[in-house]
């Protein structure tokens, strides 16, 4: 103990050429080194925050926020006008499940005049329509006749449309009265909030999203497995062939990257259609009769075939990166000691390629669950994935909150996949190159 104290004191007594204590000078040098390293990675960090983290956070916020029922922003002046103030006040004063009375209809009548003034009837109706269909037309019709509505307001609204007494409509309006809601996540798993506040399943004929999530998972796993089966021998050839041959094979592997995704997908449409190249070749060779042509387009088979081809390089390259450094003498040594070719492969060669298999499987699976161009063009109704529905809600129905909720569910699934991979294999064993 005394020796250690003496050694520490000796270090404190050491000074640099300019008279500073050596220990303090070393700490300052390490701090400068860390700052320099931070400044070097700062541009990349800012780029990731702006282009990756911020959009994801915005998406997650959009999945629980929609103020179309509560606020209107003028596109020219950007002035924000509160909407449905009277009805929201009635909701605050009356618990969920309360039947609408004359005061509730009077509140809507007053709010419709504001909607007519700021021309936001369609906006409010669209927000309610996300949770209860046919609501938009009811609101736009009521806004057009808002100035003619007179007491008793309940009877006046019944004359417009008897659906104004529908408890589901009032439950939807109550849910829309708050800008923040979890109902979009409920819709993403085919559930809905009942008028009494309980959570129930949607009607069987409207249940769509869970089936699409399941189809996306199954097809993505199948595509990942098929790419592994096809890529493993290709990567092995790349790693063991002489350089001049392996370079030529690598060009063929990378060739799809030099071609537009849309062109590759369109090419598969030409190949797989009923009157396409593949069916014509089968009929011409006598394998199939002309009336028995195989239907490979607009179904799950077309989606699997096209996506397996498109994603194959993403499995080949990680496998090649781990196979290339493997010393072939390991397998030769195992065989010289009496192991069969299968035993040497199973116990010596294959375990060394597991990190590449994991990396390739993650890459292919994550890309597969997010693809939407190829399933949309080749898959048809039976081969579409959840990403196609997300794209539809972004560009078709303009229900951005539901699209964000579906994307959020997809993100949660990917994170769970990462967690399971880390638990079973370990992220430290992941090798991409």
pTM for the whole structure: 0.84
The pLDDT of residue 372: 84
Query: What number of CA atoms fall less than 13 Å from residue 139's CA on the CB side?
Result: 27
Per-residue pLDDT of the chain (433 residues; tens, 9 = 90+): 455 554 555 555 677 667 678 788 888 889 999 999 999 999 999 999 999 999 999 999 999 999 999 999 988 888 999 999 999 999 999 998 889 999 999 999 999 999 999 999 999 999 999 989 889 999 999 999 999 999 999 999 999 999 999 999 999 999 999 999 999 999 999 998 888 888 899 888 888 899 999 999 999 999 999 999 999 999 999 988 888 888 888 888 888 888 888 888 888 888 888 888 888 888 888 888 878 888 888 888 889 999 999 999 999 999 999 998 888 888 888 888 888 889 988 898 999 898 889 889 988 999 999 888 888 888 887 888 899 899 999 988 889 999 999 999 999 988 888 888 778 777 666 655 5
The pLDDT of residue 428: 67
Q: Give the integer Cα–Cα distance in Å for 9 and 11.
A: 5
The pLDDT of residue 5: 53
CB-based contacts of 164, cutoff 8 Å, min separation 6: 105, 138, 157, 158
The pLDDT of residue 12: 56
The pLDDT of residue 170: 94
The pLDDT of residue 431: 58
Q: Give the integer Cα–Cα distance in Å for 104 and 116.
A: 19
Q: Give the integer Cα–Cα distance in Å for 236 and 228.
A: 12
Q: Are the CB atoms for 59 and 408 separated by under 8 Å? A: yes
Query: Exposed/middle/buried for 366, CB within 10 Å: 0-12, 13-18, 19+?
Result: middle
Kindly tell me the number of DSSP H helices and DSSP E strands found in the chain. 22, 4
- What residues are paired with 72 via a beta bridge? 81
DSSP H stretches of helix in 94-242 = 102-118, 121-129, 135-144, 153-160, 167-176, 183-188, 209-240
The pLDDT of residue 288: 82
The pLDDT of residue 25: 81
The pLDDT of residue 82: 95
């Amino acid at each position: 103990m005394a020796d250690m104290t003496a050694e520490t004191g000796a270090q404190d007594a050491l000074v640099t050429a300019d008279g500073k204590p050596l220990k303090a000078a070393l700490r300052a040098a390490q701090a400068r080194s860390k700052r320099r390293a931070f400044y070097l990675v700062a541009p990349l960090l800012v780029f990731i925050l702006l282009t990756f983290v911020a959009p994801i956070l915005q998406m997650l916020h959009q999945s629980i926020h929609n103020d179309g029922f509560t606020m209107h922003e003028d596109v020219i002046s950007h002035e924000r006008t509160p909407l449905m103030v009277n009805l929201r006040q009635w909701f605050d004063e009356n618990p969920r499940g309360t039947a609408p009375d004359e005061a509730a209809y009077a509140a809507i009548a007053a709010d419709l005049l504001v909607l007519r003034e700021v021309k936001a009837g369609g906006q409010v109706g669209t927000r309610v329509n996300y949770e209860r269909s046919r609501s938009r037309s009811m609101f736009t019709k009521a806004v057009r006749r808002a100035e003619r509505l007179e007491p008793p307001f309940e009877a006046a609204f019944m004359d417009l449309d008897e659906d104004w007494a529908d408890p589901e409509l009032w439950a939807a309006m109550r849910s829309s009265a708050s800008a923040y809601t979890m109902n979009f996540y409920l819709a993403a798993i085919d559930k809905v909030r009942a008028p009494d506040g309980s959570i129930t399943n949607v009607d069987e004929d409207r249940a769509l999203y869970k089936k699409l999530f399941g189809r996306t998972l199954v097809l993505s796993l199948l595509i990942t497995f098929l790419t592994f089966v096809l890529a493993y021998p290709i990567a092995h050839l790349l790693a063991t062939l002489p350089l001049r041959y392996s370079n030529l094979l690598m060009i063929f592997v990378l060739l799809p990257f030099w071609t537009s995704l849309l062109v590759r997908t369109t090419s598969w449409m030409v190949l797989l259609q009923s009157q396409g190249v593949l069916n014509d070749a089968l009929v011409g060779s006598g394998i199939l009769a002309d009336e028995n042509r195989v239907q490979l387009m607009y179904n799950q088979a077309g989606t699997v075939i096209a996506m397996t081809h498109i994603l194959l390089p993403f499995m080949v390259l990680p496998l090649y990166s781990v196979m290339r450094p493997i010393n072939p003498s390991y397998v030769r040594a195992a065989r010289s000691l009496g192991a069969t070719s299968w035993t040497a492969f199973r116990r010596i060669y294959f375990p060394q390629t597991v990190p590449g298999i994991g990396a390739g499987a993650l890459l292919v699976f994550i890309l597969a669950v997010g693809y939407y161009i190829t399933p949309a063009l080749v898959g048809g109704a039976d081969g579409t994935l959840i990403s196609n529905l997300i794209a539809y809600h972004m560009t078709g129905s303009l229900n951005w909150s539901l699209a964000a909720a579906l994307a959020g569910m997809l993100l949660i699934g990917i994170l769970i996949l990462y967690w399971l991979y880390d638990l079973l294999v370990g992220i430290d064993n992941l090798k991409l190159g």
